[in-house]
Structure 1
Amino acid sequence: MIKCIVWDLDQTLWRGTLGEDEQVLLPEENRALLEHLDASGILQSIASRNDPDAAMEQLRKLGIDHYFLYPQLGFHSKALSIQTIAQKLNIGLDTIAFLDDNEFELREIGYFLPQVARYHAWSDRNSLMEAVGQGGTGTAESRNRRVFMQAQEKRDQEELKFSGTREEFLKDCDMRLTIREAREDDLARVCELVERSSQYKTFSQTVDPDFCRRYRASTQSKLWVAELEDRFGQYGIIGVCFLRSGDGNVWIDQFCISCRVGGRGIGVVFLQTVLDQCQGMGNPCFKAVCCFTPTKRNRPVVILLRTLGFRKSQSQDGQGGLEVALPVAHVACDWITIIVDKG
């Protein structure tokens, strides 16, 4: 899945070469593509060998500078630039596509970063569109993904300037986490989050709206979502948990949170809260069992689960699992205000 398009500038984003030609022009098809990708929730950045000040000034003149997150401008390796972008966005290199008009540059990226998808700026345009899809999910989160990331960038900048401890900074962020059962109009976002998550996802299987509806309809299961906001803005639905009870157990069929909110205790608070709530789902529950599929990228969710006391399940039924006795011991994250919305 492509999550970010990285653009070259000269003869790619615009026609002409900055500093050599009298002016550079932005083709209307590229302006339309910028708008389409942004509305579809595809992030965009830049890796270009250009003078940073001159390039940013040109982007501002064209009225498109706001589309690009963490642009990498200068005369260093584009491979290094793409690695920096992936790190700052906290996404895998295999979710990035690089767009350039120069075959040498494309081949160089292929040599050093084979995980990155590469497209010629003009001859591969149809292939690029097929790869990113013809439209987004239509969720508020996908339409506003760039805005969310820009709020995150501002948060990161303020944290660097903050003189106190990390815990004091997190308290200063005024995070409010609303946890509630999913509604019908949440289901598209639930499916999107399950599909897009990689680092903080327990089970590799994706879901569709019909599955979510059947899950919600059962008296033995609940579908929970978590919404986050802080003083930097609203993040929308950033967490999903599929829970069902039976035989004295709570089964966590799927748990995931957005990678962009990892590292703040949000996933721990979300999961321990829904496990507390599940005691009211019917018969008493004595153990929580989490269905788990290890991948190359989901080590962070293992750490999250172990923080709450989860350990390898003794009975896995041929399918990996982690378990913990209930109630779970609470981990103090007093910088987060928890709101349980019971409708």
Structure 2
Amino acid sequence: MTFTPTATIKLVIWDLDDTFWHGTLSEGPIALIDDNMAIVRTLLDRGIVSSIVSKNDPEPVRRVLEEAGIWDCFIFPKVSWNAKGSQIAQIIEQANLRADNVLFIDDNAINIEEARYRFPAMMVAYPQDVLPVLLTLPEARGKSDPEHTRLQQYKQLERKVVEQAESDLSNVEFLRQSQVRLRFDFDVERHFDRIVELINRSNQLNYTKVRLESDAALATFREQLQRHDVFAAAVFASDKYGAHGLIGFYMQRRTERENRLLHYVWSCRMMNAGLEQYVFERLGSPVIDVVQPVSNPIVVFDRVDWITEQVGEEEVAPGSAPRLLLLGSCDLTAVASYCSADRVEFVNGVKHGVMTRYDDFGFILGDPAAIARSRALPALPAWEPRDFAAFQQELGGAEILVLSLSATLKGHHLVTQDGVVVRIHPEGLGHAIDHDPASSWLTGAAFYDLTLAQKLTLLDHAVEWIDQRAVNARHVFLLGANTRDAATPMNEADRDLAQRYNQAALTLCAGRPGWEFVSIDEVVPANRLLDDRHYTRTGYLDIANHLNARMKAGKGAQTRTVRVSDPATHVPLVDLIRQGRRLSRLAIFGNRPKSQLAPIKQAVKLTPLSRMLRKALA
């Protein structure tokens, strides 16, 4: 009978008597078959492992195979007088494989039919049907593994399974003593071939199953890796039983509007260890379209507290990473993905359909009492009083601050009727005002335009305010603005504004212990600019690597000495804003007017008839 494989072969389970060797061991002498031992070794060279299910006494079997020098070539051998179906089930479970990728070879029809009944998807064959052709099958081609890395990984897993079975510990207790470590390598291009193999070959823990089996799919994958809103990492794992190598990969699209996993795939070698859940939660529990079947849901445990992150040669135990606070524009969303998992973000994002901006002097310098009692602010499509309160609280406990404040120099300012200041950025609140300038939440509001000098003064106040309240911060990084041309030349007015901001930021950092200006022009190579404000994924990785290196260089540094100024000398923010030029409501536009008709359109929106019509259509 001809054997026809139905899937890629990852594991071969051998019967012994009259299959792997001639004769029955319990009845008399046996004769090893050299060709079969050669097949086992050749399969190992291809990364395909072998196991044993045999009805025999274990010690004589082990003695024979050890004398032949091949015992250590098998994983999870099952030698007993128990039914073979249950022993096969144990091997598949312990090896964390699917029955589809297992080939069982036995000379006994009863055993063959039992295996076929228990595991309909498993490949089964008589030795005379499969052994002459096994090494020629495309499904047994495997992947070159002359160092037998795959075998060693399974041997580590085998030791772990044996130790856990012999202990009285629960699964969680066992994991807590297993010294599980993860390392994230964001330079995924170095591991490109291995990642593609993992995506294409993994099934059980490939939650997205977006295969890369065509040139077009690979081209799309490479393009995604260059996008400014895509983040990816190869994940390496180890524990006290040994190193498990590259064991996972994720690709995440994270923008102001979306947090989604495009690829999420894991090797089965450390299944049930909570790795998938730990990384998923580390990424902010992104949206993911899980493609069934998968062996386990992503979230299994109440919490995963047994994993240590490793950065280079250093280990970062759970809860010991420095507390990181990020404040400002959306580029921090990209950088944050490569920094500490213990972080709090006040980063621009979409709320209620409108871009909410935290790079806002009102958010930093606002009057807490006015914000707490304001009735107008909660109605605004902007940051909320609870955001402000959280920022005030988190600032005092953060050990590392990363600030991106160049956009504070853009846009106008709104002062609510109860004295709260909110920045109107063209792509944020300004767009909402442009859409509906007669909105009820603008009742009593006033609009102001500040000169660049006035805005730079407010930037000075904001930096001083943060410096005085970040009492536990060892490092404060103030990101600069790019001033170089990308594929499209930069607007000269924008370039001048970026240069003015950089000079001011550099000066502000120079006079403050623990503060450091990060020059984007120096840290991010020009070939990683997508436009004048966005960079490729590796460009953001360059920024993160710079920050991580500076944090590592300053590890153990003493808390900064904070100079506290006299509060009586501070002019309230609302008074500073009101020193600017007051604007009419018609002067506020969400986006730059495309034509001279824009003011007329705005005026029409303010007419009673227009307001009544839009209210009726709402």
Indicate the TM-score class for this superposition, using the shorter chain for normalisation: 0.7 to 0.9
| Structure 2 residue aligned with 1:251 | 260
Q: Which of 297, 301, 313 does residue 301 from structure 1 map onto?
A: 297
Contact kept in structure 1, 2:43 and 2:49, CA below 8 Å: yes
| Structure 2 residue aligned with 1:3 | 10
| Structure 2 residue aligned with 1:337 | 308
Distance apart, 1:269 and its partner CA: 2.0
**Residue 301 to residue 98, structure 1, CA distance change in 2 (3 Å):** same
Q: Distance in 2 between matches of 1:179 and 1:239?
A: 9
Distance apart, 1:47 and its partner CA: 1.3
Contact kept in structure 1, 2:277 and 2:299, CA below 8 Å: no
| Structure 1 residue aligned with 2:96 | 90
**TM-score (ref. length: structure 1):** 0.77
Distance apart, 1:180 and its partner CA: 2.1
Contact kept in structure 1, 2:276 and 2:298, CA below 8 Å: no
Alpha-carbon displacement from aligned partner over 1:288-325 (angstroms, at most 9, x marks no partner): 32132232xx2623435xx7xxxxxxxxxxxxxxxxxx
State the AA in 2 paired with 1:147: Q
Unaligned runs of 5+ residues in structure 2 are 1-7, 313-337, 339-544, 546-618
Distance apart, 1:23 and its partner CA: 4.0
| Structure 2 residue aligned with 1:200 | 205
Are 1:12 and 2:10 counterparts?
Answer: no
**Residue 123 to residue 199, structure 1, CA distance change in 2 (3 Å):** closer
Distance apart, 1:200 and its partner CA: 2.5
Q: Identity of aligned pairs, percent?
A: 25
| Structure 2 residue aligned with 1:241 | 250
Contact kept in structure 1, 2:250 and 2:263, CA below 8 Å: yes
Q: Distance in 2 between matches of 1:211 and 1:233?
A: 35
Distance apart, 1:70 and its partner CA: 1.8
| Structure 2 residue aligned with 1:260 | 269
Distance apart, 1:102 and its partner CA: 3.6
Q: Distance in 2 between matches of 1:102 and 1:199?
A: 30
Alpha-carbon displacement from aligned partner over 1:170-208 (angstroms, at most 9, x marks no partner): 333222210121433412221232234333222223225
Distance apart, 1:15 and its partner CA: 2.8
| 3-state SS of 2:129 partner | coil
Distance apart, 1:210 and its partner CA: 5.0
Q: 1:182-221, aligned counterparts within 5 Å?
A: 182-208=187-213, 210-221=219-230
**Residue 21 to residue 174, structure 1, CA distance change in 2 (3 Å):** same
Where in structure 1 do 4 or more consecutive aligned residues deviate above 6 Å?
A: none
What is the aligned-residue RMSD (CA, Å)?
2.9
| Structure 2 residue aligned with 1:78 | 84
Alpha-carbon displacement from aligned partner over 1:94-147 (angstroms, at most 9, x marks no partner): 22111123445334433443222112213323553315332416598xx42221
**Residue 293 to residue 166, structure 1, CA distance change in 2 (3 Å):** closer
State the AA in 1 paired with 2:139: V
Are 1:290 and 2:299 counterparts?
Answer: no
Q: Distance in 2 between matches of 1:108 and 1:164?
A: 34
In the alignment of these two chains, the number of paired residues is 302
Contact kept in structure 2, 1:179 and 1:270, CA below 8 Å: no
Q: Which of 171, 174, 178 does residue 173 from structure 1 map onto?
A: 178
Distance apart, 1:54 and its partner CA: 1.2
| 3-state SS of 1:216 partner | helix
Contact kept in structure 2, 1:90 and 1:260, CA below 8 Å: yes
**TM-score (ref. length: structure 2):** 0.45
More strand by proportion, 1 or 2? 1
**Residue 202 to residue 134, structure 1, CA distance change in 2 (3 Å):** closer
Contact kept in structure 2, 1:201 and 1:301, CA below 8 Å: no
Q: Which of 138, 147, 150 does residue 145 from structure 1 map onto?
A: 150
Q: Distance in 1 between matches of 2:172 and 2:166?
A: 14
Q: Distance in 1 between matches of 2:138 and 2:112?
A: 17
Moved more, 63-72 or 201-210: 201-210
Unaligned runs of 5+ residues in structure 1 are 277-286, 308-330
Distance apart, 1:223 and its partner CA: 2.4
